[in-house]
Amino acid sequence: MFYSKIRFFFRDFSHPSRILTVDAYRRPRGASHFRGRHWLTALLAGSALGFAAPSFAQFSVSGNVWEASSGPFVPTSPMTQLTAAPTVSPWSMAGDSLLVGYTANGTLGINAGGLITDAFGYIGYSASATGTATVSGTGAEWDSDFDLSVGYDGSGTLNIGSGGFVSNRNGYIGQNTGGVGLVTVNGPGAEWRNGIHMGSAYVGWYGKGTLETSNGGTVSTISASGLSIGTNAGSVGTATVSGAQSSWQIDGVVTVGWSGQGTLAITDGGVVNSDLINNSTHQNCYVGRYDGGVGKVTVSGAGSLWDMPGTLYVGGTNDPASTGGAGTLTLSDAGAVSAANVTIASVNGSAGTVNIGATTANSAAVPGVIEGVLDTVTSTFGPPPIVTFGPGSGNLVFKHTSGNYEFASVITGGGATTSAVDVYAGATVMAVASDYYGVTTAHGGVLAAGAANVFSAHSDYVAQDAGTLDLRGKNQTVASLANKTGGVVNMGANTTPGTVLTVAGNYAGNGGMIAINTTLGDESSPTDLLVVQGDTGPGTTYVKVRNATAGLGALTGGNGIRVVRVTGAGALSSGTFKLANAPLVDSGYEYKLVKVGTDWYLQSVRYVPSASSATAVPALDEAALGWLALLLAGGAAAGLRRKHRGSAA
């Protein structure tokens, strides 16, 4: 059954800004079916209805909406309150300002085909005002030659829907103290373009701003000034880029937490491209840039990406004379950052943390990744960036669920007391050699070597709780090593004996374990070796020995098989090493861990089971003893008969 449709437009002349749309569907029999919201209410209210041209639907105005004949607007400017939308598009306010919600509540709608041009736009101007503007539909457009403020002193909301387009020089969300602004860019073809005439976008200038980009929406800037979230002291900015095809296309710098509080979440396939057009300048991006700035960025979900051709500063800036802020970057669920370099806590007073997987306060998550610069032509990433610790307080955290996560960036810089690498969950494999200073701690999970000498020789290492340092059969050198209760230092899971772990400084065993591979034979047998070039402080280390190559056991001559060597002039060896898997027995030989001088050796002796290891014989009652006596007597008699027959023969 087919319907023919007729659309009616009605104006309520007592409220000229109200336009009623009623759809009439003509059925084959001639009956009409009306579809329209509140049409019956309007009729019952006695409003005078008349036809209006369909072009009226391009705009809607209600409440406190004003045009000021100057820009930027000041309260002394000549003003006209708009009580009706224009009848034609474009609606031009050449050189004037448009205020949606000047002193009270006001709304503005720009629908398909509607175009408004002005010099300055304000949504929610006064502290007592609330303004709402919606730009949605194919060809719906609002162009401000200069600034657009959403939440100037009051509360403002700008909704840009599918097909809607808004452009301006500077875009402010939450411009002044007390101003609260929200901008949503939602749907395919929805775009907010900033930076015309070298402007920027600010999410939280002095006030509180929120920018939500979703379902294929786009936010763009076309000047090097870029976009800032949480700009001035006291401001709060929050931004999200969520969903496949949702993106920011920023030709310039992205700063999250300039001197205020900024938060950016890139999720579920959202993309932020920084310095998109002028990428030859390799501009940088910042998280927690200057003193007082606090920035937090999360990139989460497959396809989610923050891409930049320059350096990403997490905590601090590229100006060594400045005092930096505090920044946190969390990469999870295959989310990625691509950059030429990553610097953590770049200046004095700054603090920066990069989390792979999850923060220390949350449960482990699927890890994200740090990639090299994205080649937009081939859609491939360049070599992994160098991760540099600056002089501030820097932290690289691994708390993820992967059983074999490869970290391919060189880690460098840092200070002995200011920088840290912390492993809490998952197995993280260091793929390339690093030379950073600071403390590396395995609190849980595994920190493994992907090649020889990839652990930083300048870092102090700690294994504790349920954490493991795994050499995977590859020689390593560390500055110092503390092996605490619950910690494990694993030379390799059944790897060929011969791996050497060198501790350039002191070793402290406080209840931790070392697992080594040894061929249990004589004193020449190959073995893994712990070399301590400093002291072994007081405390106990438990040594688990694996007979990796099926040694057949033998008596050891000399001092035996050396497994711990303590060197250096005047070295102290007050630590104790004990076998974790005693008795260690092979082919009738028992190996014991013995200290000789400052070193520790495996020495073998003939194995004699202790009384406690002998098999106990159950007690026999009188009947059983009687039967045993008869059996013994019978056996003796049989032996005498065999002897007698042999003599006779």
Tell whether 24 is covered by a domain.
yes
User: Model pTM?
Assistant: 0.85
Strands of 271-274's sheet, edge to edge?
A: 91-92, 115-118, 141-144, 165-167, 191-194, 218-221, 247-250, 271-274, 305-307, 336-338, 369-371
Integer Cα distance of 469 and 489 in angstroms = 5
**Contact (CB, 8 A) for 404 and 425:** no
pLDDT at residue 628, as a whole number: 53
Tell whether 648 is covered by a domain.
no
3-12, 135-144, 405-414: the lowest-pLDDT one: 3-12
Say yes or no to pLDDT of 45 above 90.
Answer: no
Which range of 15-19, 34-38, 580-584, 633-637 scores highest in mean pLDDT? It is 580-584
Position 466 confidence tier, pLDDT thresholds 50, 70, 90? very high
Tell whether 132 is covered by a domain.
no
Helix (H, G, I), strand (E, B) or coil at 566: strand
Say yes or no to pLDDT of 528 above 90.
Answer: yes
Say yes or no to pLDDT of 384 above 90.
Answer: yes
Position 1 confidence tier, pLDDT thresholds 50, 70, 90? very low
**Sign of the alpha-carbon torsion through 196, 202, 207, 208:** positive
pLDDT at residue 645, as a whole number: 52
Tell whether 523 is covered by a domain.
yes
pLDDT at residue 29, as a whole number: 30
pLDDT at residue 619, as a whole number: 52
Of 182, 230, 222, the C-alpha closest to 200 is: 222
Q: pLDDT tens digit string along 419-443?
A: 999 999 999 999 999 999 999 999 9
pLDDT at residue 516, as a whole number: 98
pLDDT at residue 224, as a whole number: 74
pLDDT at residue 370, as a whole number: 98
43-52, 334-343, 411-420, 493-502: the lowest-pLDDT one: 43-52
Say yes or no to pLDDT of 610 above 90.
Answer: no
Say yes or no to pLDDT of 20 above 90.
Answer: no
Say yes or no to pLDDT of 297 above 50.
Answer: yes
48-52, 109-113, 174-178, 317-321: the lowest-pLDDT one: 48-52
Say yes or no to pLDDT of 85 above 90.
Answer: no
Q: pLDDT tens digit string along 61-81?
A: 999 999 998 778 888 889 999
**Contact (CB, 8 A) for 257 and 230:** yes
Total domains in the fold of the chain: 2
Higher pLDDT among residues 108 and 627, named by residue: 108
Say yes or no to pLDDT of 88 above 90.
Answer: no
Name the region of 629 (left: φ>0; alpha: ψ -120 to 50; beta: rest).
Answer: alpha
What is the Cα 531 distance to its own chain's centre? 37
Higher pLDDT among residues 19 and 112, named by residue: 112
DSSP 612: G
199-203, 326-330, 512-516: the lowest-pLDDT one: 199-203
Position 122 confidence tier, pLDDT thresholds 50, 70, 90? very high
pLDDT at residue 632, as a whole number: 55
Tell whether 501 is covered by a domain.
yes
Tell whether 591 is covered by a domain.
yes
Beta-sheet strands, E only, within 597-643:
599-606
Mean pLDDT of the chain: 87
Residues 6+ apart with CB under 8 A from 437: 389, 413, 414, 415, 416, 419, 456, 458, 459
143-152, 426-435, 567-576, 616-625: the lowest-pLDDT one: 616-625
How many other CB atoms are there within 10 angstroms of residue 646's CB atom? 8
Beta-sheet strands, E only, within 519-624:
529-532, 540-547, 561-566, 576-579, 584-586, 589-596, 599-606
Rounded to the nearest 5°, which phi and psi values hold at 211? -125, 120
Say yes or no to pLDDT of 160 above 50.
Answer: yes
Say yes or no to pLDDT of 118 above 50.
Answer: yes
Position 281 confidence tier, pLDDT thresholds 50, 70, 90? low
Portion of the chain with pLDDT greater than 70, in percent: 83
Integer Cα distance of 185 and 70 in angstroms = 28
Tell whether 392 is covered by a domain.
no
SS3 per-residue string spanning 438-504: EEEEEEEEEEEECCCCCCCCCEEEEEEEEEEEECCCCCEEECEEEEECCCEEECCCCCCCCCEEEEC
Of 525, 522, 527, the C-alpha closest to 501 is: 527
pLDDT at residue 630, as a whole number: 60
pLDDT at residue 55, as a whole number: 38
Structure tokens at 333: 């669920």
Integer Cα distance of 264 and 259 in angstroms = 15
Say yes or no to pLDDT of 135 above 90.
Answer: yes
Tell whether 37 is covered by a domain.
yes
224-238, 469-483, 559-573: the lowest-pLDDT one: 559-573
Per-residue buried b or exposed e for 430-461, using 16+ beta carbons within 10 Å of the residue's own CB = bbeebebbbbbbbbbbbbbbbebebbbebbbb
Residue 562 forms beta bridges with which residues?
A: 601
Got the DSSP string for 363-418? --B-B-EEE--EETTTTEE-SPPEEEE-SSEEEEEEEB--SSEEE-S-EEE--TTT
Integer Cα distance of 598 and 593 in angstroms = 13
CB-neighbour burial class of residue 356 (10 A; exposed 0-12, middle 13-18, buried 19+): buried
DSSP 299: E
Residue 599 structural domain: 442-609
pLDDT at residue 27, as a whole number: 30
Integer Cα distance of 599 and 483 in angstroms = 18
